[in-house]
Every structure is written in C-alpha cells, then in structure tokens.
Structure 1
Amino acid sequence: MYQQSLPIILASKSPRRQELMKSMNLDFKVLVKDVDESFPDNLLPAEIAVHIAEKKAAAFLDQSIDNIVITADTIVAYKTEILGKPEDVTHAREILEKLSGTNHQVYTGVGISYNGHTVSFFDITEVFFNQLTTEQINYYIKNYNPFDKAGAYGIQDWIGLIGVKKIIGSYTNVMGLPTEKLYQALLSI
C-alpha cells in the first residue's frame, strides 16, 4: 500500500482526474496554472502527451520541493491526426463521425515532480467504437459535455457505455489518468 510521505498537488482541473485520484485514496489538493500546450510538429503522439505533461510540470517545479506534483495530458490519435477538444457542436460532430465504426488510440502523458525534478511516462489504450448513428451522436452532444474532452467523448459517459465495443489497455487511461502506472510510480518515490 502506498504510504503518502509528502503532500500531493494535482495540477489539473479535470474532474475525471480528480475523481480517479480520490478513488485511489490519495490525499491531494488541486492547483492549476495556465501553460502553453503547443508542441513541435515532428513529435509522435506519445511524445506529444509526455511533452505537454512535462511543460505543465515545469510550471510547478518550485513547488515540488515540499510536494509531489502530478501533471497529465491526454490526446486522441486517429490514424495520423491528433484529435483535440472540440471547438463547437459542428467540430464535436465531425470528430465523433470520424471515430464511429473505427478504432483510435488514447495516449496520456504523466509527470511526477518531487525534490525539484520530474519523472514522466505515458500509457496507450486502443479504443474500438461501434458504428454510431447520427441520432446517437446528436443526443450525446446535446446531453453531455464533449467540449472539455480530447476526442469529443468521455468513455465513462453514455456514449462510452453504448458505443465502445472494446478497449485494449487501461480504461482509466482513456479517462485521463493511467492509475495503475501512476500508483507504481508513486511507490518508487
């Protein structure tokens, strides 16, 4: 069992990450800073997720002396395209239509900062969607909030319950935080 030795800061406003941390019985506080999430064009999806998680961690490096700071970034990759958070209803519909009946990858990069340095890692999950109808996509967009989620969906939402055929990898990674890998990393601190 993980014995928490330092206070933990979760540097994320994501309610899903906060829920997962609570489910892990970790005592933490949330602190968020605005960070430029741009990345070089030549990076692979896993490298993008880690790059952004490390940029977020760098903003908190001064606070990692007396705290453990956890940062994360999740991206959705469809073929060679990175699917971010949708800008509006039309964009959300376009993303979900792309994902319908196909598979894609979800990458989460995680940074753990302590004693003034950061260790980082990533996880990948393959997600397979059933063919979604226009009515299902419109219902989801109208009744749920796809606008704060990479790939315009939350696997824990209605669309994940009715539309995800199978996954290969970590379910919590798709939610935004690979808890098993995070737990193992915390044990090594």
Structure 2
Amino acid sequence: MGLHADVKDGKRHCSETWQIILGSSSQTRRAIMKEMGLEFEILTADIDESSIRREKPEDLVMALAEAKAQAILARLATKESDADSAQQTLLITADQVVVHEGNILEKPRTSEEARRFIEGYSRSPARTVGAVLVTNLSTGVSKGGVDTAEIEEGSVFWAAGGLLVEHPLVSPLVNAMVGTIDSVMGLPKELTLSLIDEAVERTK
C-alpha cells in the first residue's frame, strides 16, 4: 500500500512502500485521510475511554490516542504469524475533546446533555483539543502532537465531541473559526503529515 501525500499539492511521494492503519471508526477522519491522498486500512480499538482521566485536555487526548495505539498493537501482535511477510507499517490514532468555559466535554451521553452543550456554545467560544499519534511498527517509535482550534460564538451542532461545521446547514451559523477545518474535525492534516514524516525518517 503506497504512502503518498504532499503539503503543496496533496501528494507526498515516498520512495518506500508503507502500509498505513488508521485506528479510528470516525467517518470524518477517514474522509480527511482520503483528502490527504493516503491509502489506508481501518482497525478500531476497543478501549474504555471513561477509565482514562487527566486534568489537562492536552494530556487526556494524548493518553487516549496512546491507549488506542496500544490496544491495536496488541491485536496485531496476536495476528502476526509470518515475520518475513511483515510490511513496513504506520499506525495512526487520534482523539479529541471540546473545552468550554474551563470544562472538558466529551461525547454527550444523553440528548438532554447534548442540548445543554449546544446552549452553552451559543454563549461563548468553545475550543477543540485533539491529539494525533503515529507509530512506526518497524521501529516501535511513536511521534505525537496536539492541535487546538477555537470556534467563535454561533449556533452549531456537535457530535462525538467534534464540530459538524462542514455541514451545509451548519457552516453559515459559525461566526469565526481560529484554526483549520480539519483540526476542528479531529485530524489536523499538517500535524498528521509532519508526524508521518518524522516516523518514516526514523527508518532511513
């Protein structure tokens, strides 16, 4: 599976062939990966996210991304039966939370809670905090980073801790966005491509 993407034209060409695994069930992250011109397969992590707690949102999202990576690596280890056929592989995991008025907000548990979130967002800006972790399975090295974006006041819809600002019915209601749309949607392109470069560089 070829690794290719480029910051300038959406296609970075790599002389080596890599398999890329996206450790996420998010349709939005899949779409962003395709926009970057990356070929990939999907593996999801079955973890109890509620058991992982951190005070700072930056620490929380990175801890969740790391936990997802470890869970997927454990699954891959049980399936690996022929070392000679192992392809150079990169695993990409990510997580995101919303920070509003000093509180970390994750996926709403009920419709009432979701409604309270939305009412709060109309009063003051909310901030998304997301982490991306790229693990080189050949070297075991992981490179991670955190990205933030802020949404100014506006009546917007939220799902799974992320803004649905790309929806045509929603985007006109967003007054201003400090950060890129892909950051708000849970997989910042520039950060992801930079981490891929760093992870691949370690094998050269």
Identify if the C-alpha distance between structure 1 residues 97 and 159 changes in structure 2 by more than 3 Å, giving closer, same or farther: farther
Residue in 1 that maps onto 2:192: 182
- Higher helix proportion: 1
Aligned AA for 1:35?
A: I
Total equivalences in the alignment: 174
Q: Which runs of 5+ in 1 are unaligned?
A: 141-145
- Cα displacement (A) at 1:84: 1.2
Residue in 1 that maps onto 2:52: 39
Q: Secondary structure at the match of 1:17?
A: helix
Query: Which of 51, 57, 75 matches 2:69?
Result: 57
Q: Distance in 2 between matches of 1:40 and 1:84?
A: 12
- Cα displacement (A) at 1:61: 3.0
Q: Distance in 1 between matches of 2:37 and 2:73?
A: 24
CA RMSD of aligned residues (A): 2.1
Larger relative contact order (CA 8 Å, sep ≥ 6): 1
1:17 pairs with 2:41 = no
Q: Distance in 2 between matches of 1:5 and 1:77?
A: 39
Q: Percent identity?
A: 28
1:167 pairs with 2:177 = yes
Higher Cα Rg, which structure: 2
Q: Distance in 2 between matches of 1:170 and 1:17?
A: 14
TM-score (norm 2): 0.77
Moved more, 53-62 or 166-175: 53-62
Q: Which runs of 5+ in 2 are unaligned?
A: 1-5, 7-11, 78-85
Aligned AA for 1:54?
A: E
Q: Secondary structure at the match of 1:121?
A: strand
- Cα displacement (A) at 1:117: 2.8
Q: Distance in 2 between matches of 1:124 and 1:85?
A: 17
TM-score (norm 1): 0.83
Residue in 2 that maps onto 1:109: 131
Residue in 1 that maps onto 2:107: 85
